Structure 1
Amino acid sequence: MTTNPSDPPLPPGALDDAAPPESLDAVPLSAPAREAHKARVHAALFQGKPLPPERLGRFIVLGALGHGGMGTVLEAFDPTLDRKIALKVLHPTVAKHHAQRLVREAKGLAKLSHPNVVQVYEVGEAEGRTFIAMELVTGRTLQEWQQLEPRPSWRQCVEVYLQAGLGLADPALCRIFVDEVTEAIKRLRKMGMRFQSKMLATMPASPQTKGTNNIVQIQKAVIEGTNTTVLEHANLTDLLVERGRCRGAVGIDDEGEPFVVHAGAVIMATGGVGQLFKYSFNPPGNTGDGYAMAMRAGAPLFNMEFMQQGLATTWPTQCMVMLYEMEEPYRLLNRHGKAFLADYLPAGMSVLEVSKLKAYHWPVSCRDGAIHLDRAIKGEVLAGRGTEHDAVFLDLAGTQRGFQPEVFDAYMKENGLDLSTDLLQVQLHHHTSNGGIRIDTDAQSPVVRGLFACGEAAGWQGADRLGGTMLGGSQVFGWRAGTKAAEVARDRPQAELHPDEFERLLGRRLARQHEADGRTRPGQLHAQLQQAMWDKLLVEKDAERLQQAQAVIDEQRAAIRDDLCIAEPFDHVLAMEQRNMLDVAQAITSAALMRTESRGSHYRADYPERDAANWLSNIFVSRDGEGHMVLRKEWINEAVGWEDQGRIRIMPWG
């Protein structure tokens, strides 16, 4: 990048809202230094003092908008056309291999003509740097937006959720959520639910946390106060579907004995698939059963490649660690006591900058450079430089405590750690699935009528999601599912199960398990699958790793078919669960392999950039009549359109 004393002056006000110019390879300035630099630039431009603006070709650089794995996005001024633009520039270290990809991306974007797709002005090269000059889209932080008068409209609120989902959340379901979540939370409060701000979600009830997880008591009271039959030790295995309508389910108890449940409607509230991964916040029952049963019954899943992941301790207890509003000097160290974060950063990005970006969100996301902090933590462990608990050390002793509440300190002390002297052992965990069973506005499958889904089982979120929407969404769509399911069930007579259908769904499989005389118990397979999926799917993935994950899935299917050992009755249950996890693992890995871009929580090291021209689209996963997996691209938001308005500056946004 060069400067030229004969550069034409910028029009008055051109820098009023801009960051100060900074070199592509410079370490970001502190806030006071940036303001001082900005003042000097103003003086140079408007008072004739000798500090010309930096340039890239004919473009005058006004400041950096963001950094990614491949390049930097700059705010710039085009003096030829007298307008501000966004300038995407490749890092020198990757330009040799990825310049043509950037050109293809620009050509693809240039072919799109839609008011909600950013306009490409030109693609070119200046001073050895490949760039795309694009329309500059400006916005404000969510905190600023919430303080506007009059209050934001429902359309504006929905747009925030679409921004969080990077264009892939369901706009109709987002509208329902916006309209109904307030009443849903009021219902919870009336039932006795207590909410505490700045609370770590995974903390169990204790004297320090004052029994915050009273949801169990509320759930018990609701069951006792209604005509609800609870089947203890019952494990559903497949859904009964007749002529496209769900009529109930089959399953086995903990002793391996089969049973049938006839129903006018079925609501899947089975949670997610956290137990697919070695490190997860999910309870043991979250084995993806709802996803797998729905998919085998013909209901499509969508957005399964998007999973919320975040930092947590691995020892001596498992607890979220949030770095909101915290920047360095917290320290990340490997088992040898070496600070490693800088080793994973692209050219032009500093440790200070990546920690500032991470201070805006807990979840793993490639929407900004914070992804490199998460890559670094997991990368050290995969490289063999982690602790015996698959972690790196986090030193919070010298940190100004932003979001981390006092109750976190108390909880750690309860588990033998003093954060003023002790190091935390932290690693990336699976938190939630952003995708799930595709539902309509009644929370019903649009393909299998009478099948409903809510909570994490239902899919309506996008590539990232805002914090708190899982709880609110479970209540909004749970209410809708229950209301419509009751209506459907009243109008639908129960049907008897044909013996051939029972044999197809459960009888033959159970018979094979009774006859199994192999060496592999299903519990052994579970641990191996968890390790492989954590290694290959979380945080950072590429084609090679995803294919390795698929190879593990294939090997385990073969083991269940040819080498299964049923040593005790409960092994029947574990074998059925393993089948479900393998089905869901295949859906996730297949969708992740198909999406050859990086977007939100889905980061592909071999495709590190977002590709709006080819991948502003959802992926639907289903089974055909022969039981083969089918993947289909369709953008559910196409009629409305979507335009990326930049980083979501929400504290916290996820």
Structure 2
Amino acid sequence: MRGCSMENPRITTDIVIIGSGMAGLIAALQLSQTRKVTIVTKTSIGAGNSEKAQGGIAAAISANDSFYDHIQDTLAAGYGHNNERVAKKLIEQAAPVMSAFFDWNTPFDRDDKGVFQLAKEGAHSRRRIFHAGGDATGFYMMKQLKKHVAENIQVLEHFMAYDLLMAKDRCIGVMGKNKENQLCKIYAGATVIASGGCGQLYPVTSNAEEATSDGMAMAFRAGVRLKDMEFMQFHPTMLFSNGRGAGLVSEAVRGEGGILVDEAGNAIMKNRHPLEDLAPRSVVSNAVFEHLQAGKEIYLSTQKVSEFTKKFPTVADNALAHGIDVTKGFLPVRPGAHFMMGGIETNEWGRTNKNGVYAIGEAACTGMHGANRLASNSLLEAAAGALLLAQHLPWQEQVTLWEEQEEACDIGNSPEIQALQENMDQWAGVVKEETNLLKMREWLKSYNHFIFSKGSSVLIKKDMTLKNMMTTAWLITNGALVRTESRGAHIRTDYSDEEPEWVRYAVCWENEKTEPVIRLNQERGSGHEPAIS
């Protein structure tokens, strides 16, 4: 289908989807059966975090498992901050989700008898993780999805979305730049943000290069409500080589017997948590971080993992590529930015507080994950949310084309992305405290004019990416300052305990305000509102 060009600077469609990961592609496949769908994706179709997922997809559909057990595991991992109703709704979509992937001929791993080889990961009470290619699940799931993208779906690759087009409180599409850097406006009855997370805010991350929080930042600038941005999950086992992150080491390795040890061979999770190495990610990441801060080196011992290279070929090949001898059975690791539990506030099928704009996948905050995501729940949420969106999305007429005066944006003396990443790692990383968070806030504050202006078309794509990353860094930093407790992935040394008064409240961002507001989480009742210090 014809794309955006100087001869065609405007496109009209029924639905525009920003992002082409698992959530975006499934939504497009379902919605295109009855409506005209356009996908815009900042690089090539399918590129992003979904393709990089190693462990698998959690689905409680085996005979010895139950949705109830999966829900309970999810709530326990979420530290009381989950939206239980939404978690239940999404987890119960496991059957239709897996049915769809079976229909798409996804090659999930089976044994010699044809039985699925289900894995167990951190904080799961059952083996319920479907995986493919050992530890290349996302690659194979996305490979099959991309094969089914129909010709009637318009796909604009190398198109960077800049800002949502808003007519008062209604979203009527998106503007951005195509691969020739030409400005294009796409008008749609519904705009779906499926642009993924924000792991690239940190120097060590499991996330793809595309994960620069574009959708979250665009939503913020449009006045769409975001919440829980202080809950950034750090995966405890990022391979670390030559002073840099070198790729994820799947949690499934620990599920098969991998143990975290220090340089003396001491198991660091022993007596730390009843589940030891399979404790919730926030617990394990904190333990690794503490040992690193004490000057120790931490390794993931694979000596007790049978057929390690056969079961985890992606991890093994990546380690070898970085000069690590996997035959010795010790992989150097450190925590790395992995998943944002917060994001654009939605219900279970992606509805936001603004008409015409929806969000699914990691860009959305459904409340399913609470304060700490359970392993392998991300792909389930992405797929389930997309299916539910397709079922519930109302038909919306396109708004008459209109123009608004563009706001100037002066990039000025903006920093390099590397400086932002290093500061976030140092001042707003795995473990936080007020002094460092204030340093981060003041550093960002010096660029406020750049951060809080609209996504001007005068900016090149690199500058727009930086703008989005700095916007999200502001939300994370100030959200962490406001939440005066430790809960799940939000760990503060100056407020080391969970505070009961916080369990019913969320830190929210709305109406383009530069400071957060505390809102009652309706799904969790009422109580005394915590004070903003």
Q: Which runs of 5+ in 1 are unaligned?
A: 1-145, 343-349, 387-391, 563-568, 642-654
The one of 66, 69, 74 aligned to 1:161: 74
The one of 152, 170, 175 aligned to 2:88: 175
- 1:304-357 Cα deviation digits (max 9, x unpaired): 111221211022741315463688986323xxxx78x89xxxxxxx87423875
The reply on whether 1:374 has 2:304 as its aligned counterpart is no
| Counterpart-to-counterpart distance in 2, 1:473 and 1:173 | 10
The one of 263, 277, 280 aligned to 1:359: 277
The one of 165, 186, 197 aligned to 2:99: 186
| Counterpart-to-counterpart distance in 1, 2:291 and 2:362 | 27
The reply on whether 1:593 has 2:487 as its aligned counterpart is no
SS at match of 2:281: coil
The one of 304, 310, 316 aligned to 1:400: 304
SS at match of 2:81: coil
Q: How high is the sequence identity, in percent, across the aligned residues?
A: 22
- 1:474-528 Cα deviation digits (max 9, x unpaired): 111112223434x323xx133212233xx14xxx33xx46xxxx6x5x6x62111
- 1:144-197 Cα deviation digits (max 9, x unpaired): xx99x997675x754443332222112221121132122112101211223344
SS at match of 1:353: coil
Whether the 8 Å CA contact 1:331–1:394 is kept in 2: the answer is yes
Code of the residue aligned with 1:458 in structure 2: it is A
| Counterpart-to-counterpart distance in 2, 1:617 and 1:258 | 43
The reply on whether 1:305 has 2:230 as its aligned counterpart is yes
The reply on whether 1:331 has 2:331 as its aligned counterpart is no
Whether the 8 Å CA contact 2:119–2:255 is kept in 1: the answer is no
Q: Which runs of 5+ in 2 are unaligned?
A: 1-59, 110-117, 123-130, 528-533
| Counterpart-to-counterpart distance in 1, 2:256 and 2:497 | 27
Code of the residue aligned with 1:162 in structure 2: it is L
Report the alpha carbon displacement of residue 545 of structure 1 after superposing the two structures with TM: 1.3
TM-score, structure 1 as length reference: 0.60
| Counterpart-to-counterpart distance in 1, 2:86 and 2:211 | 24
| Cross-structure match for 1:602 | 490
Report the alpha carbon displacement of residue 439 of structure 1 after superposing the two structures with TM: 0.8
| Counterpart-to-counterpart distance in 2, 1:191 and 1:172 | 29
Whether the 8 Å CA contact 2:341–2:371 is kept in 1: the answer is yes
SS at match of 1:285: coil
Report the alpha carbon displacement of residue 207 of structure 1 after superposing the two structures with TM: 9.2
| Cross-structure match for 1:217 | 143
The reply on whether 1:622 has 2:529 as its aligned counterpart is no
Whether the 8 Å CA contact 1:165–1:462 is kept in 2: the answer is yes
SS at match of 1:220: helix
| Counterpart-to-counterpart distance in 1, 2:258 and 2:195 | 40
**Superposition map of 1:445-594 within 5 A:** 445=352, 447-460=353-366, 461-485=369-393, 487-489=394-396, 492-500=397-405, 503-504=406-407, 508-509=408-409, 512=410, 525-557=416-448, 572-594=460-482
SS at match of 2:522: coil
SS at match of 2:247: coil
Q: Are the structure 2 counterparts of residues 192 and 555 from structure 1 closer, same or farther at C-alpha, using a change threshold of 3 Å?
A: farther
State the superposition RMSD in angstroms: 3.8
SS at match of 1:628: coil
| Cross-structure match for 1:232 | 157
| Counterpart-to-counterpart distance in 2, 1:395 and 1:468 | 20
| Counterpart-to-counterpart distance in 1, 2:76 and 2:360 | 22
| Cross-structure match for 2:11 | none
Q: Are the structure 2 counterparts of residues 242 and 574 from structure 1 closer, same or farther at C-alpha, using a change threshold of 3 Å?
A: same
| Counterpart-to-counterpart distance in 2, 1:287 and 1:351 | 32
**Superposition map of 1:34-73 within 5 A:** none
| Counterpart-to-counterpart distance in 2, 1:578 and 1:455 | 22
Whether the 8 Å CA contact 1:306–1:463 is kept in 2: the answer is yes
Report the alpha carbon displacement of residue 280 of structure 1 after superposing the two structures with TM: 0.8
| Counterpart-to-counterpart distance in 2, 1:570 and 1:192 | 45
Deviates more, 1:406-415 or 1:172-181: 406-415
Q: Are the structure 2 counterparts of residues 451 and 536 from structure 1 closer, same or farther at C-alpha, using a change threshold of 3 Å?
A: same
SS at match of 1:535: helix
Q: Are the structure 2 counterparts of residues 544 and 220 from structure 1 closer, same or farther at C-alpha, using a change threshold of 3 Å?
A: same
Whether the 8 Å CA contact 1:435–1:458 is kept in 2: the answer is yes
- 1:26-78 Cα deviation digits (max 9, x unpaired): xxxxxxxxxxxxxxxxxxxxxxxxxxxxxxxxxxxxxxxxxxxxxxxxxxxxx
| Counterpart-to-counterpart distance in 2, 1:472 and 1:550 | 34
| Cross-structure match for 2:209 | 284
Report the alpha carbon displacement of residue 259 of structure 1 after superposing the two structures with TM: 1.5
| Counterpart-to-counterpart distance in 2, 1:309 and 1:592 | 15
Q: Are the structure 2 counterparts of residues 420 and 331 from structure 1 closer, same or farther at C-alpha, using a change threshold of 3 Å?
A: farther
Whether the 8 Å CA contact 1:270–1:289 is kept in 2: the answer is yes
Report the alpha carbon displacement of residue 243 of structure 1 after superposing the two structures with TM: 3.3
**Quick one: higher RCO (CA 8 Å, sep 6+), 1 or 2?**
2
Q: Are the structure 2 counterparts of residues 603 and 459 from structure 1 closer, same or farther at C-alpha, using a change threshold of 3 Å?
A: same
- 1:255-292 Cα deviation digits (max 9, x unpaired): 54321110000111000001111111111111111111
Report the alpha carbon displacement of residue 199 of structure 1 after superposing the two structures with TM: 9.6
Whether the 8 Å CA contact 1:235–1:253 is kept in 2: the answer is yes
Matched residues, number = 440
Whether the 8 Å CA contact 2:74–2:373 is kept in 1: the answer is yes
SS at match of 2:192: strand
Report the alpha carbon displacement of residue 200 of structure 1 after superposing the two structures with TM: 10
Q: Are the structure 2 counterparts of residues 484 and 427 from structure 1 closer, same or farther at C-alpha, using a change threshold of 3 Å?
A: same
| Cross-structure match for 1:635 | 521
Report the alpha carbon displacement of residue 639 of structure 1 after superposing the two structures with TM: 3.6
TM-score, structure 2 as length reference: 0.72
| Counterpart-to-counterpart distance in 2, 1:462 and 1:211 | 24
Deviates more, 1:286-295 or 1:632-641: 632-641
